[in-house]
Amino acid sequence: MNHYLGIDIGTYESKGVLADGKGRIVAVAKRPHRMLVPQPGWAEHDAESNWWGEFCEISRELIGGSGIDAKDIRAVATSGIGPCMLPVDGDGNPLMNAVLYGVDTRAAKEIEELTALIGEEDLLTSSGNLLTSQSVGPKILWLKKNRPEIYAKTHKVLNSSSFLIHRLTGRYVLDHYSAASFGPLYDIHANRWTDRYADAIIEPECMPELLWTTEIAGYVMDKAAAETGLAAGTPVTAGTIDAAAEAVSVGVGDTGEMMMMYGSTMFIILVTDRRVGDGRLWYAPWLFEGQHACMSGTSTSGTLTRWFADQFGRELSVETAMRDLAAEAARSPVGAKGLIVLPYFSGERTPVHDPDARGLIFGLDLTHDRADIYRAALEGIAYGVNAVIETYLEAEAPLKRIVAVGGGTNNPVWSQAISDISGWRQAVCRNTIGAAYGNAFLAAVSVGDAERGDIAVWNPIDREIVPGEANRPVYTRGYGIFKELYARTSDLMSLMGKPLDSA
């Protein structure tokens, strides 16, 4: 039987799936890793170890552990966190750690500089997005200004998926969906890199070749075959960002369908039949030509729960910390006895796009315990998600259905709070393994062994999270306080982010 290999590089974990022609999972492999935070506002990965090293380990484990002949793997698809900025030399070797997506806010000055230079209207018209911490263009400018010796040696600027594809095939390739996050360097009308900013930022020749996600980027080279256990000559797709592969894994593909990913951040993708032009949301062509996507994301969700466990659950085992804390949170009442958490522990993306935003625990008294604070953190994430959903509705985006995916769907306090606060149902598929599974399906599509609609057979809907009316009064009041807390403290947050000698 034919098999398909999908591997995804996440913020804290890499995961691989080997699936057969009917979508059944034959083998799964994982590798944990850490996000590097060398200073506040920075977020990095070591591309050699976190990306390529773990890809090779996972690939070998999947093939060896399953007993499948590598020659029976019809295609490989990969995805990863993004958009990232990884400058590489002429041999494709990293020149520094990869600068991660919107959780890395180091380029705040460059965002302001480029926005003033280009103008918000021009940015929305030409690249479909305002510049935020999610944009790669300002991060490349940061590199040019602050690491000129590295910039001078840069042959290409890669994302996580394009780095892996180069190691596998020798080609520098990036999919159109990912490229749209490299604003202002991607022209959404011509679907190509623009040369308008060659002098101000970087020449388009330094960017990867553009393909659609299920196009074949190349074939596994002999050297890569020896390192990964794959058969030389195996087709490799153009890949994509992890969130897009995650959306595919749960069948999000028609207009009005929204994927809500419970990951290190909450990332949301709505598939549309037109471009939704709202500067608070991100735009990209969808994975398939002729479709569009409207995206958003918070800066912290799983990262916040991980931070909480590291700091306040040190006596808990690594394997059970999340489960034990979730059980504690369930014993705290709805509303966490009056606690409100602003989950802006690494700035915030949608809808405020404020790199200076800070976390806040409001309403503490001597009756509160760890369970209450953790519940308030989960509810704070849910309030933030509700603000995102409201933004879509204000932008008149065609939202019809929400499908949830990711580990957080197994946390009933977290997932139920999102439905209770927003009033929206969330469908959950039988398989919530995520992007790696979506990659396996995309690999099958890329070689003609599956049609796009077949994902509903591979991974059908299993259950729904239904809003509860009983909790609405508590959450309505809490959401109002949540919004007002940021409005009243954002100027102080900005002040906290400035150096002491700043005017």
Tens-digit pLDDT profile for residues 253-311: 899 999 999 988 899 999 999 999 888 999 999 999 889 999 999 988 988 999 999 99
Residue 456 lies in a domain: no
CATH code of the domain containing 481: 3.30.420.40
The closest of 363, 362, 367, 378 to 330, measured between CA atoms, is 378
pLDDT at residue 289, rounded to an integer? 87
How far is Cα 163 from Cα 345, in angstroms, rounded to an integer?
29
**CB 210 within 8 Å of CB 171:** no
Last residue of a domain, one of 188, 217, 243: 243
Q: Is the pLDDT of residue 503 over 60?
A: no
Average pLDDT over residues 212-224: 97
The number of distinct structural domains making up the chain is 2
223 lies in the same domain as 296: no
361 lies in the same domain as 494: yes
229 lies in the same domain as 293: no
192 lies in the same domain as 287: no
238 lies in the same domain as 110: yes
Residue 445 lies in a domain: no
Residue 458 lies in a domain: no
Last residue of a domain, one of 190, 220, 243: 243
| Domain of 177, in residue numbers | 3-243
The alpha helices in 423-471, defined as continuous H runs, are 435-446, 455-458
Last residue of a domain, one of 243, 261, 292: 243
Q: Is the pLDDT of residue 110 over 90?
A: yes
What torsion, rounded to 10 degrees, do the Cα atoms 408, 414, 420, 421 define?
A: -100
Q: Is the pLDDT of residue 502 over 80?
A: no
Residue 166 lies in a domain: yes
The pTM score is 0.86
> What radius of gyration do the chain's Cα atoms show?
22
pLDDT in tens, 179-201: 999 999 999 999 999 999 999 99
359 lies in the same domain as 236: no
284 lies in the same domain as 150: no
Residue 454 lies in a domain: no
291 lies in the same domain as 169: no
Q: Could you give phi then psi for residue 328, rounded to 5 degrees?
A: -60, -45
pLDDT in tens, 470-491: 999 999 999 999 999 999 999 9
Q: Give, as one character, the DSSP assignment of residue 354.
A: B
Residue 308 lies in a domain: yes
The chain-wide mean pLDDT, for the chain, equals: 95
E-state strands within 186-281: 186-187, 192-193, 209-211, 216-219, 235-237, 240-241, 257-262, 266-272
Bridge partners (DSSP) of residue 362 are 340
| C-alpha distances in Å from residue 11, one per residue of 2, 33, 79, 81, 264 | 30, 8, 12, 6, 7
Question: Using 50, 70 and 90 to split pLDDT, how confident is the model at 228?
Answer: very high
177 lies in the same domain as 36: yes
